[in-house]
Amino acid sequence: MYRMSIELSVSDLEIISSDVFETQIHIKSSKNGSHISLPENITIVEENGELSIRETFKDGLSLKTLGKFLTGENNSVYMKIEIPENQRVDHAYMSLKAGDLRLKNIKFGTVDIKSLAGDVKANGISAETFRAALMAGDLKVKGSFHDVDIDVKAGDVKLSPSDAVQTIHIHAAVGDTRLELPNITEYALFSSLGMGELKFKGFTAPVHYDEQSEKKIVVKSKVGDLKIYQSF
């Protein structure tokens, strides 16, 4: 069993699978910048099948720290984690206060993502359960899931799951939601849109509203459109 628990304050995070033999962690000044030494405010511990990473504000959480963040002097880094291609991450918890998150080609059991300010992009991942809560930022996810639960306060959502997905719950307070599905006829769709429209593209069969259906899509939005497209 392998687990991840990562909490970052101001830095960006990228996690990918590659042909490495063991987990590799790279600390860079920026995505395309040079490698740097591990900052004092970041601790990394890997033991007993769990990777734990913690980043604290270098000068503490204060008005001075906030000012540095707003002016770009926040001492943030770009953290890239490579895990072996055959490695399954049974549980991953990722919390970012101000930074972007990228995930690519990883097999998860359960994924929990929390973000205060930043975008989340995931491509080619799989998970039994995928949960994400964003305060301000866009979410773009493509992969294979069983259950999906998304809560975005301000930002757009784009979800492209395989037909294996059983339940999708999305609460998007302000922002558009786009679902790309290979087939929608098996799902019961429940949508509650305050100010927005429901649009379909590529589907000819009508959507049914069977509350007893095992496969459900539930979308709630205060301001924003819900677009459901057929994926190929």
pLDDT (tens digit per residue) in 174-184: 999 999 998 87
**Model pTM greater than 0.75?**
yes
pLDDT (tens digit per residue) in 107-164: 999 999 999 999 999 999 999 999 999 999 999 999 999 999 999 999 999 999 988 8
Q: The tokens 């990883």 sit on which residue?
A: 106
* Spatial separation of the C-alpha atoms in residues 144 and 141, rounded to whole Å: 10
| pLDDT score at 214 | 84
* Spatial separation of the C-alpha atoms in residues 211 and 187, rounded to whole Å: 10
DSSP string, 90-112: EEEEEEEEES-EEEES-EEEEEE
Q: Please give the chain's pLDDT, 232 residues, in tens.
A: 899 999 999 899 999 999 999 999 999 999 999 999 999 999 999 999 999 999 987 555 444 555 444 444 556 899 999 999 999 999 999 999 999 999 999 999 999 999 999 999 999 999 999 999 999 999 999 999 999 999 999 999 999 998 889 999 999 999 999 999 988 777 888 889 999 998 888 876 556 666 777 889 999 999 999 999 988 6
